[in-house]
């Protein structure tokens, strides 16, 4: 203990922890009926950190080639001490992370936390959500099992439908005309190097912006507090909010542990590029609403290819979603209600189409 104290004193003398922690000590979090939504961002961050840790552990045994990928994951699941736990947590945490990221995005939308001056926080957050989906898409192929192989084939086929650059994107993603070992290698590269690099930078930016502007207070609460300033309440970020956030992380960890132990992530059968695609092939749940919509659109809508139209609409909707705060800033009254309506519609659409995608054959 004495040694630890000495080490702390030695560091403190040089780094001046008190000065460093000063902004943290001043930081507060507003307290109101909807404060619990503030935890979602932190939980998503916690799950991302878990992903990084378990991902690094998986890297110790994983081999990114068509001939060895499946066997190496099988080895991790059966032979490596706690390999099953690491892989199951990695897979479950990935899904939970995308879920909490979506929930975080909608909570920010409905609490109107994207308003000026937090436009860039929203934009970086949306980009992070897209990156999380990119992580999911690239990571799904890595075990090189049948479902992943054909889902990637379908997914990259859809990317190939994009006008003008579609074919190029498809070939770039696949590393050729078909999904092969070359696709696996580059998906591995995206998954463990390209995406984590970009994500780390964006997360740093996102957190910086959150710290810079503080937590947003919903407009109606803000108005109420403006009218009666005595009602305004807040808690210290450190340690009050931080410890509560820690509790949320522990709960997330308990959920993850239970999922990993009771429902270990399946491995399936090794991909056979020459085998026919299994019936009812479906993507991961977070792509299902788009997949199901594309399936429902007729082959031709007027003179336009149905699938192409769907891709264009989704692309445009995604783009507009990223720029949402800028429309809100310009809109007044009815315009703002339209944005709220669009949010409710988007949430309902995603829920309905996801459930429909699961139920449909």
Helix or strand holding residue 135 (H, E): helix 119-141
Among 250, 345, 349, 358, binds other proteins (CB under 8 A): 250
DSSP 281: -
247 is a site residue for other proteins (CB under 8 A): yes
Helix or strand holding residue 304 (H, E): strand 304-305
261 is a site residue for other proteins (CB under 8 A): yes
Among 3, 243, 299, 303, binds other proteins (CB under 8 A): 243
Question: Hey, what long-range contacts does 285-288 have (CB within 8 A, 24 or more apart)?
Answer: 285/95, 285/354, 285/357, 285/358, 286/95, 286/98, 286/99, 286/102, 286/133, 286/136, 287/133, 287/136, 287/137, 287/155, 288/353, 288/354, 288/357, 288/358
246 is a site residue for other proteins (CB under 8 A): yes
User: At 236, is the secondary structure helix, strand, or coil?
Assistant: strand
177 is a site residue for other proteins (CB under 8 A): no
Q: How far is the CB of 91 from other proteins (least distance, A)?
A: 12
DSSP 145: B
CA distances (Å), 2 to each of 6, 9, 12, 61, in order?
Answer: 6, 10, 15, 40
84 is a site residue for other proteins (CB under 8 A): yes
Q: Which two tokens stand for residue 71?
A: 């066997």
27 is a site residue for other proteins (CB under 8 A): no
Q: Which is nearer to other proteins, 48 or 241 (CB)?
A: 241
31 is a site residue for other proteins (CB under 8 A): no
Q: How far is the CB of 100 from other proteins (least distance, A)?
A: 18
Per CB under 8 A, contacts with other proteins among 200-239 are 239
Q: Which is nearer to other proteins, 54 or 199 (CB)?
A: 54
Q: How far is the CB of 235 from other proteins (least distance, A)?
A: 8
Q: Which is nearer to other proteins, 84 or 137 (CB)?
A: 84
Positions touching other proteins (CB under 8 A) are: 74, 77-78, 84-85, 239-240, 243-244, 246-247, 250-251, 253-254, 257-258, 261-264, 266-267, 269
């Amino acid at each position: 203990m004495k040694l630890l104290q000495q080490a702390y004193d030695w560091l403190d003398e040089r780094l001046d922890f008190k000065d460093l922690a000063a902004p943290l000590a001043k930081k507060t979090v507003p307290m109101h009926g909807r404060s619990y939504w503030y935890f979602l961002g932190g939980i998503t961050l916690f799950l991302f950190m878990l992903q990084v840790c378990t991902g690094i552990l998986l890297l110790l045994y994983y081999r990114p080639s068509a001939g060895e990928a499946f066997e190496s994951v099988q080895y991790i699941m059966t032979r490596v001490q706690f390999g099953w736990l690491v892989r199951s947590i990695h897979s479950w945490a990935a899904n939970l992370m995308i879920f909490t990221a979506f929930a975080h995005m909608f909570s920010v939308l409905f609490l109107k936390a994207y308003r000026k001056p937090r436009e860039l926080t929203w934009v970086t957050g949306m980009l992070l959500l897209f990156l999380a989906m990119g992580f999911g898409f690239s990571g799904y192929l890595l075990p090189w099992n049948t479902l992943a192989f054909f889902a990637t084939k379908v997914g990259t086929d859809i990317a190939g439908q994009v006008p003008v650059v579609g074919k190029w994107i498809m070939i770039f993603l696949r590393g050729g005309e078909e999904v092969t070992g070359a696709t696996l290698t580059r998906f591995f590269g995206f998954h463990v190097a390209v995406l984590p690099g970009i994500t780390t930078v964006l997360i740093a930016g996102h957190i910086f912006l959150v710290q810079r502007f503080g937590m947003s207070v919903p407009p109606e609460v803000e108005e109420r507090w403006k009218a009666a300033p005595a009602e305004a309440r807040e808690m210290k970020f450190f340690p009050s909010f931080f410890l509560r956030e820690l509790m949320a992380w522990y709960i997330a960890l308990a959920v993850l542990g239970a999922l990993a132990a009771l429902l270990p992530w399946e491995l399936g059968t090794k991909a056979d590029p020459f085998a026919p695609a299994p019936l009812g092939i479906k993507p991961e749940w977070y792509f299902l609403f788009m997949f199901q919509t594309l399936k429902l659109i007729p082959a031709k809508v007027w003179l336009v290819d149905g699938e192409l139209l769907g891709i264009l609409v989704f692309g445009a909707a995604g783009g507009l979603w990223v720029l949402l705060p800028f429309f809100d800033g310009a809109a007044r009254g009815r315009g703002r209600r339209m944005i709220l309506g669009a949010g409710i519609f988007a949430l309902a659409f995603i829920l309905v189409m996801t459930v429909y995608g699961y139920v449909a054959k």
